[in-house]
Chains A and B, each alone.
Chain A
Amino acid sequence: MAKQDAPEAKGKTETAGVTIHVAPSPHLSDTTFTTRRMMLDVLIGLTPAMLVAVYIFRVHALIQIGSCVAFCALAEFMFTTLRGKKVTLGDGSAVVTGVILGMSLPWSAPWYTAAIGSFVGMGLGKVVFGGLGFNIFNPAMVGRAFIMLSFAKVLGAPAYVDADSTVDVLTQATPLTAAKNWATAVVGAPETVAPDQLDFMRLFLGNTNGSIGEVSALALLLGGIYLCWRRSASWEIPAGVGLAVVVCAGLANVLGLSPILPHLHLAGGALMLGAFFIATDPVTSPLTPKGKFLFGLGVGALIVLLRLFSSYPEGVMFAVLIMNALAPLINQWTIPKPVGGPMPVKK
């Protein structure tokens, strides 16, 4: 059967029942790791935090995350269709954006803010740049920033608190708001005691108020370690964030600028969510390990800066967006040198 009359190769050759193809090398590929699998890894990594969210915020968490996912998918479908491109919902990236946007919102945010955030995030944050892989800013953070600036009340500190709630944590201000108030109070009255939301174990385990997905540092850490172990996120980014936060917050504390110690910064607010799941968005972070670490350092430093000196209690979102804008520049700075040096220019 292997005998054949050798027709010239034109893409494929018939050999008595067997069709052989020609193709460029390599002919092997790692089929266990695909874009889709990478997105699935993010969802698996977020699962512990989602479970904690459901435990603390009950049905609100499900509604918020569910509606953001649905609106993001719908937005991607609509916008890619409008552009006349193939709809690529199958890669799972719209679902990931939806989950992260939902997890970054307060439990009380009304449905239309979720919808607006999703549409702005997918439209202005992603599809206008050419879709997955071409966006400059993290789409979920673009959507969230839009809501925050347009509907200040919806994401303001009071939105998190429900004095009449049967859920204990919801009756208290978020830890970072409490921290901000405490830091201000301490200036006039140094004997003011720290609010009980700033108990490290409470922050670490997640028994606090906050945006839906950010409350439990432990759950996010577990998921984040999984993500880095799978190498679906680069460990260099959270490492950089963590290092910069510890150094900057430590320095601020030593210099007497802030009473809040570094470990509270690490466990409080959206830091873990941001470091492991938002800043690590590969599309909007640098390409090389060195660049990623620099990027992480920048995010961490900006978070501390914004938390301490801006009028907002939290700084993860703006820190990530600012560093997204700097990623191309970091890429320029960190073009790796080939092994053996650059190719000499031929005379």
Chain B
Amino acid sequence: MTAIMTQGAGRGTFARGIHPEEYKHYAEGAAIEVLPTPAEVRIPLLQHLGAPCQGVVATKAPVKVGDLIGEPGGFVSAPVHASVDGVAGRPGAVTLPNGRHVTAIPVKADAEQALTGRALFDAFYGGDWPGEGELKGYEPQAIADVALQSGLTGLGGATFPTHIKLKRNPEKPIDTLLINGCECEPFLTADYRLMLEAASCVVTGALLAQQATGAKDLILCVEDNKRDAAEALAKAAEGTSAKVLIVRTKYPQGGEKQLIIAALNRVVPMGGLPLDVGVVVMNVGTAAALAGAVARQRPLTHRIVTVTGGGVAKPKNLLAPIGASYNDLIAFCGGMTDQAARVISGGPMMGFTVGNLNSPITKGTSGITIMTGAEVAKASETACVRCGRCVDVCPLNLVPSKLAMASRMENLDVARQYHILACMECGCCAYACPASLPLVQLMRMGKALVNRADRG
């Protein structure tokens, strides 16, 4: 077994941040199950950061899992593929939880599916994976190309197209690839289960990404509340150049800029990307998807989604086709309990609430967190007493209370002076605020006002 490092070039943590109750107990013990094929999936043509896809499938055309149905609409874009065997329908509009109205192509599933149940899981994650020596045979550029053709995007939530990260940039060489297995959002356990149950697949994908980027070092980062996952990865990484690093359990440890500080003690310049400091960060789920895409020619058609929280009858981790509805997944988990109060796409810190449970899940849906009234309860809003708790926890070293007040008063000069555009909306300030102020909401409003004013 590869030794697990507890100390890298960084201190294993970043300054400030919070440690909310983890709530991982709901679903951490639930092995990944395969969602029975839903009657219909609706596959949005915009599931990533960047330009929407162009639909390329005719209405009523038969499609198989993995068939291309949407072509990328630009460099920063990623194609989408059919996720069930069936018949394509007429494109229609859907509203995603983040509020965007996008076109989606429905696919009515055939009664007979080529792969279901355990066979589907094994096709993606199971079986043997090529060793490091074999992987050396892949051309770096070819790996990036496959990532593009397979529609890979970051599966941690931000959905940045993966091929852009993998493409070599002669001006900005990459020396370190960090594989992000932190999963710092409370409740979510999808990445954890993946690391436990498909460690070899994750390591293979990580080695492929290393090959593509030309990174000298490959470090798999896991928070210290998931030591068994770190051990699984270390076992799978035996005999390879990959290293496993334990970092402190803390939110937002999984934010890529925070992770780079914790693991490498490097600071990404504001407005820049990790590649500016010679680093690429990739989520464990993305690494696993890259392994499937390159070694098994499987485009990104399915992902692991945690359905969890006090508001769902049987919390589970599901392998689900992209485009299945929130209702499909929730129903398979026994439906909602009477205490359910809020359905969240993603985790509770940065996730969006879902108003329409018929919306489809997308590549970025890491979880469905159904919280109870008690779990979302917060004290009623009082005046800001400027206690500075928000300053104590802001991972970016901002002054949230000042920014929120400036936003409320629409005082854009003060908002700019206190660097409002640097805010990444992680929610630490609002979590910690004793006055229960809607700090993140005010911050978003202020950012929008400043951006609008800057555009003139």
Q: Is the CB of B352 within 8 A of A25?
A: yes
| CB nearest neighbor in B for A22 | B353
Whole-angstrom CA separation of A331 from B418 in the bound complex:
11
Of A15, A35, A37, which one neighbours B357 at CB under 8 angstroms? A15
By a CB distance below 8 angstroms, the chain A residues around B271 are 340, 343-344
Q: Is A283 located at the chain interface by the 8 A CB criterion?
A: yes
Q: Is B268 located at the chain interface by the 8 A CB criterion?
A: yes
By a CB distance below 8 angstroms, the chain A residues around B369 are 27
| CB nearest neighbor in B for A344 | B271
Q: Is A336 located at the chain interface by the 8 A CB criterion?
A: yes
Whole-angstrom CA separation of A8 from B387 in the bound complex:
40
Q: Is A88 located at the chain interface by the 8 A CB criterion?
A: yes
- Give the distance to chain A from B444, nearest Cβ to Cβ, in Å: 7
Question: How would residues 10 to 44 of chain A score, 1 for a CB under 8 Å from any chain B CB and 0 otherwise?
Answer: 10110101111111111111110111111000000
| CB nearest neighbor in A for B369 | A27
Q: Is B115 located at the chain interface by the 8 A CB criterion?
A: no
Whole-angstrom CA separation of A232 from B392 in the bound complex:
12
Q: Is the CB of A338 within 8 A of B342?
A: no
Of A13, A234, A336, which one neighbours B397 at CB under 8 angstroms? A336
B interface size (C-beta, 8 A): 82
Q: Which of A56-64, A126-134, A252-260, A296-304 contacts B (4 or more CB under 8 A)?
A: A126-134
Q: Is A189 located at the chain interface by the 8 A CB criterion?
A: no
Q: Is the CB of B379 within 8 A of A287?
A: no
Q: Is B160 located at the chain interface by the 8 A CB criterion?
A: no
- Give the distance to chain B from A42, nearest Cβ to Cβ, in Å: 11
By a CB distance below 8 angstroms, the chain A residues around B384 are 133
Q: Is A282 located at the chain interface by the 8 A CB criterion?
A: yes
Of A1, A131, A289, which one neighbours B336 at CB under 8 angstroms? A1
Whole-angstrom CA separation of A288 from B343 in the bound complex:
36
Whole-angstrom CA separation of A28 from B384 in the bound complex:
19
Q: Is the CB of A34 within 8 A of B436?
A: yes
Q: Is A91 located at the chain interface by the 8 A CB criterion?
A: yes
> If the complex has contacts A287-B386, A287-B399, A287-B402, are A33 and B434 also in contact, measured as CB distance less than 8 A?
yes
Q: Is the CB of B434 within 8 A of A27?
A: no
Q: Is B272 located at the chain interface by the 8 A CB criterion?
A: yes
Whole-angstrom CA separation of A231 from B393 in the bound complex:
12
Q: Is the CB of B342 within 8 A of A2?
A: no
Whole-angstrom CA separation of A6 from B42 in the bound complex:
15
| CB nearest neighbor in B for A33 | B434
Question: How would residues 167 to 187 of chain B score, 1 for a CB under 8 Å from any chain A CB and 0 otherwise?
Answer: 000000000000000000010
Q: Is the CB of B434 within 8 A of A287?
A: no
| CB nearest neighbor in A for B455 | A346
Q: Is the CB of A339 within 8 A of B267?
A: yes
Of B330, B386, B422, which one neighbours A133 at CB under 8 angstroms? B386
Q: Is the CB of B388 within 8 A of A340?
A: no
By a CB distance below 8 angstroms, the chain B residues around A285 are 386
Q: Which of B61-69, B81-89, B126-134, B370-378 contacts A (4 or more CB under 8 A)?
A: B370-378
By a CB distance below 8 angstroms, the chain B residues around A4 are 327, 357-358
Of B14, B15, B387, which one neighbours A38 at CB under 8 angstroms? B387
- Give the distance to chain A from B258, nearest Cβ to Cβ, in Å: 9
Q: Is the CB of B352 within 8 A of A338?
A: no
- List 15 additional contacts besides A3-B327, A28-B376; criterion CB under 8 Å: A1-B336, A20-B355, A20-B357, A21-B342, A22-B342, A22-B354, A24-B444, A25-B348, A25-B350, A27-B349, A35-B385, A36-B379, A132-B382, A234-B388, A339-B397
B residues adjacent to A (C-beta < 8 A): 14-15, 18, 20-21, 95, 186, 257, 261, 267-272, 311, 327, 330-331, 335-338, 340-344, 348-358, 369, 371, 375-379, 382-389, 391-392, 395-399, 401-402, 417-419, 421-422, 425, 427, 430-436, 438, 440-441, 444, 454
A residues adjacent to B (C-beta < 8 A): 1-4, 6-10, 12-13, 15, 17-31, 33-38, 88, 91, 93, 131-134, 231-232, 234, 282-283, 285, 287-289, 292, 331, 335-344, 346
